[in-house]
Structure formats: C-alpha cells, structure tokens
C-alpha cells in the first residue's frame, strides 16, 4: 500500500508541471485578447493618421473646431480655468518649437560642423527644418485639447482660481516668449517658413530671324 501511494505522489508533481507548462505556453505563446484588441486599435488609429497627412487645412479646421467647442464648454460651466491655462501654456510651447530650427544656430557659431542657415542671397538653398514638424505640432495640439476636454468632466480638476490673473499671466508670458523668439530670428537671420527654392530664368532670345 505504501509503495502504491508513494508512486502516486511522485506522478502528481510531474502531471502538475506538464499541465502548467501547457498553460504557460498558451498564455505566453499567444497574445491575450486585450493585447490584440489594443494592438488592432492602434493600427487603425495610425492608419487614419497616415491618411490625414496630406490634408493640412482640413486637419487644422477640425482642431480649431475642437478648441472652439472646448472654449464654449468652459464658458458655460464657468470653471476649469486652471486646465485652460495649462492648455494655453502647452500650446505656446508647441508653437515655439514649431518656429524654432531643429539645430540652434547659437550652438553652431564657433563650429563648422553640420548644416547651417543661409545668411546671404547667393548662398546655397537650404530648407528650414523645424524642431517640431507641422504634423506633430497638429497631433500634439489636438491631443491636448481632447485631454483638457476630458478633464472638464471631473470635478477634481476644477481648482478655484481668479481667472483674470491667469489671463494676465498668459498674455505676459506670450509677449515675452514671442519677443525672445523674434529677436532670435533677427539675430540669426532666418524665417521659419520655406516657400521653395527660387527659380531663375535665362534671358529670352529676342533676336529676329531674317528670311533668305
């Protein structure tokens, strides 16, 4: 009897391990339903972003419409001013990054390495490369509006504050930041917009042909 029991006790751990290995393979070898769902959702989202890339005007009209809806909601609710202030600061930082060159010219004054901005008319054409591209600027700005709008549904984000002070702070910060950016543009002589390479036409042949 003891030999039979000991034989069964030896077989139980082995069976348990083999069963656990099969379960582990089913869990780790195959992605879960939740992972597959969010992965598929991310693929669809990225596909829509890729399709919207060439429609710059439409994208920004939608973003302006969302910001208008958000401002109406804040006005009707008479609250969430601190969220609006944070959204304004976030958009201002995005805008400054959009106007700034990818490589700061002040860091390249004493070095000849890397591309630099053209400072004379006869220099080689170099397109303006932004620190924050237009598409990423739009995407981040739109996400910021959606996050701020979602915050207006939670009372925890409705911090009581005297909103005229926030408006005054934002105007001051905007003026100081833009003044600094304009000075930087004037000092290093660049314009954050590229209209394309200038084309030069040769002289037209104005000579007359004579019939023989």
- Per-residue pLDDT, 120: 54
> For all residues of the chain together, what is the average pLDDT?
78
Give the least confident one: 6-10, 54-58, 71-75: 6-10
Residue 12, pLDDT above cutoff 60: no
Q: Structural domain tally of the chain? A: 1
Q: Decide if 200 is inside a domain.
A: no
pLDDT-derived band at 118, boundaries 50, 70, 90: low
Q: Decide if 139 is inside a domain.
A: yes
Q: Decide if 23 is inside a domain.
A: no
Q: Domain span at residue 66?
A: 37-105+128-188
Q: Decide if 154 is inside a domain.
A: yes
Query: Global pTM?
Result: 0.70
- Per-residue pLDDT, 3: 55
Q: Decide if 67 is inside a domain.
A: yes
Task: Decide: 139 and 60 in contact? Cβ < 8 Å.
Answer: no
Q: Decide if 22 is inside a domain.
A: no
pLDDT-derived band at 28, boundaries 50, 70, 90: low
Q: What is the pLDDT of residues 156-182, one digit of tens each?
A: 999 999 999 999 999 999 999 999 999
Residue-wise DSSP of 108-169: GTT---S-----STTSPP-PPPBSS-HHHHHHHHHHHHHHHHHHTT-GGG-----HHHHHHH
How many Å apart are CA 126 and CA 197, to the nearest integer? 8
N residues, the chain: 212
Q: What is the pLDDT of residues 63-99, one digit of tens each?
A: 999 999 999 999 999 999 999 999 999 999 999 999 9
Of 162, 141, 154, the residue nearest 87 (C-alpha): 141
- Per-residue pLDDT, 81: 94
Q: Decide if 91 is inside a domain.
A: yes
């Amino acid at each position: 009897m003891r030999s039979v029991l000991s034989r069964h006790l030896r077989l139980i751990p082995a069976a348990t391990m083999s069963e656990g290995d099969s379960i582990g393979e089913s869990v780790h070898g195959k992605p879960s339903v939740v992972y597959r769902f969010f992965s598929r959702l991310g693929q669809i989202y990225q596909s829509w972003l890729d399709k919207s890339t060439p429609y710059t005007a439409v994208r920004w009209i939608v973003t302006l419409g969302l910001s208008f809806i958000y401002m109406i909601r804040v006005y009707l609710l008479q609250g969430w001013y601190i969220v609006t202030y944070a959204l304004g600061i976030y958009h201002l930082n995005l805008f400054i990054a959009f106007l700034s060159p990818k490589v700061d010219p002040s860091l390249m004054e004493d070095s000849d390495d890397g591309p630099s901005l053209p400072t004379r008319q006869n220099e080689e054409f170099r397109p303006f490369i932004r620190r924050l591209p237009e598409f990423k600027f739009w995407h981040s700005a739109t996400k910021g509006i959606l996050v701020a709008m979602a915050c207006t549904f939670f009372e925890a984000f409705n911090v009581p504050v005297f909103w005229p002070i926030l408006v005054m702070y934002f105007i001051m910060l905007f003026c100081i930041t833009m003044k600094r950016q304009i000075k930087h543009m004037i000092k290093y002589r660049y314009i954050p917009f590229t209209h394309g390479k200038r084309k030069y036409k040769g002289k037209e042949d104005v000579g007359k042909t004579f019939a023989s």
